[in-house]
Amino acid sequence: MPRMRRVMIQLGGFLLLLFLPFLLSGVMRRNFNFVLFGLVWFGLVGWLIYRWLRNPLKDLLDYTENLRLGIPIRNRISRRDDIYGQLAKGLEKLERSHTSHLSTLHGRMEEIQAILTSMSEGVIATDITGRISLINPAAAELFHLGPGEGVGEFPYKVFPRSELGEIFHQVYVKGYPQALELTWPGSPERVLNLHLAPIRGDEIEEIRGVVAVIGDITKLRQLESMRKDFVANVSHELKTPLTSIKGFIETLIDGAIEDRGAAQRFLGIIHQETERLNHIIADLLDLSKLESGRTELNVSTIDLDELVAEVVDAAENRLRAKNLELTLAIEAKVISGDEDLLREVIVNLFDNAMKYTPEGGAIKIGSAEGPEGVEVYVEDTGFGIPEESLPRLFERFYRVDKGRSREMGGTGLGLSIVKHIIERHCGKVAVSSKLGRGSRFSFIIPHQFDCEESHGTVE
């Protein structure tokens, strides 16, 4: 109420001042001087009114401009008690509320950005126009996009050789989520798992874009394929000797047991097939232990001369039977590792060299000191391996020539066991070969076992 009284008093004084010349007009003559005086008087009063109205409005205009630019400045007009001061105080409250909301929104945006950046899955989102508005780092890496590349473009332009752009369009138009697997071309070819969904505020709101979550499941599909191949191969490898055993036993039961010569021959075959089954099961158990990491290494210093000599002595009769020339080139004399496991590695490689080298051929076993550790190798002048088979040599049950491999015996697990034993020592296995000219298998044992994982290589 006092504020209203002051406003009324100020207004009354202003009106009195405005009409004061007219009150004086009764005592003044009507002449040119009076007209001139009136014009000057009203001009002065008008200018004062203009300044009185303009200055606080200009302060309010400056304050709103600072608010638009995000510059929080306390305006002096907020200290006034009139209507302008009340308006300034209201703007200040609005500015504080606006700043608080912006701060909260900024914090949430940073949190969302951190989540998107740390995700292992790729995320791509489009806006209401259908253009890409977001690509997280995982998606950029997945599709080999640079920072900011693709943002602001339509999906069909960013992925011109894929149906991905069309899938984004279908989800946007139809409004239904989609889940699918997509084979992405490249080297190597990858399998992607996509989940796309429309962006809505609620179920009935207009679609404002599409978001896609993309996972690379190439390794998963490879593992599934390996599992299926493994089951099929194990079944085949077990079925073959079991079928043979069953057939000969049935023959013996049907009366062949009365023929001593035939019975002895059949029982000898049954014994061989039983040993073959035993070797398959033993190798599977060894491979399982190696793959699970349950095999403890009994690390010791190994004399390579002695270890290779033991392996060669055990195979002396086979070397002589095929008239194979053996050369030893042991330059690095000492390695560290599990002697029993490394003996198994050398036995497997040497055994393969003898199997697949024709009569009169040559085999060389050697070692050398290298920058990564000690390299041990076995070279032969055998049949060689086709180039397309080299990447799969260390897979379980993989055989280059299935017929010849089964004739020569073996379980098809030897090279896979070699690979896992060397990786258990933090080393690497490698193979190089020329068809018809022989092969070279090698492995490197590092000086220190501090690996996380190792891989076989081919040349």
Task: Give me the CATH number covering residue 126.
Answer: 3.30.450.20
Q: Is residue 153 part of a domain?
A: yes
For each successive 10 residues of the chain (459 residues), what is the average pLDDT? 49 55 52 60 68 71 69 57 71 74 79 79 89 88 85 87 86 88 80 89 77 88 76 74 84 81 84 80 74 73 90 87 90 88 89 89 91 90 85 74 52 80 89 88 83 46
| Integer-rounded Cα radius of gyration of the chain | 45
HSE-CB at 447 with a 13 A cutoff on CA atoms is 7
Q: How much is the pLDDT for 26?
A: 47
Query: The pTM is what?
Result: 0.52
What's the CA gap between 432 and 427, in Å, rounded? Answer: 17
What's the CA gap between 332 and 426, in Å, rounded? Answer: 18
Looking at the fold, whether 325 and 435 belong to one and the same domain comes out as: yes
Looking at the fold, whether 426 and 328 belong to one and the same domain comes out as: yes
Task: State pLDDT tens for residues 384-407.
Answer: 888 888 887 887 767 666 544 455
Distances (CA, A) of 134 to 67, 119, 152, 205: 29, 14, 9, 21
Number of domains into which the chain is organized: 3
Torsions phi, psi for 408 (to 5 deg):
-85, 0
Looking at the fold, whether 385 and 316 belong to one and the same domain comes out as: yes
Largest CA distance in the chain: 163
Looking at the fold, whether 101 and 202 belong to one and the same domain comes out as: no
For the chain, the residue count is: 459
Buried b (16+ CB within 10 A) or exposed e, 177-186: ebeeeeebee
Looking at the fold, whether 354 and 424 belong to one and the same domain comes out as: yes
Give the pairing of strands 428-434 and 362-369: unpaired
Which domain range does residue 364 map to?
A: 298-458
What's the CA gap between 10 and 114, in Å, rounded? Answer: 59
Q: E strands, 172-261, where?
A: 178-184, 190-199, 209-216
How is residue 258 written in tokens?
Answer: 């009365």
Looking at the fold, whether 313 and 343 belong to one and the same domain comes out as: yes
Q: Is residue 227 part of a domain?
A: no
Looking at the fold, whether 330 and 428 belong to one and the same domain comes out as: yes
- For helices 414-424 and 339-355, the axis angle rounded to 10 degrees is 150
How is residue 291 written in tokens?
Answer: 């793959």
Q: How much is the pLDDT for 447?
A: 81
Looking at the fold, whether 195 and 82 belong to one and the same domain comes out as: no
Looking at the fold, whether 92 and 194 belong to one and the same domain comes out as: no
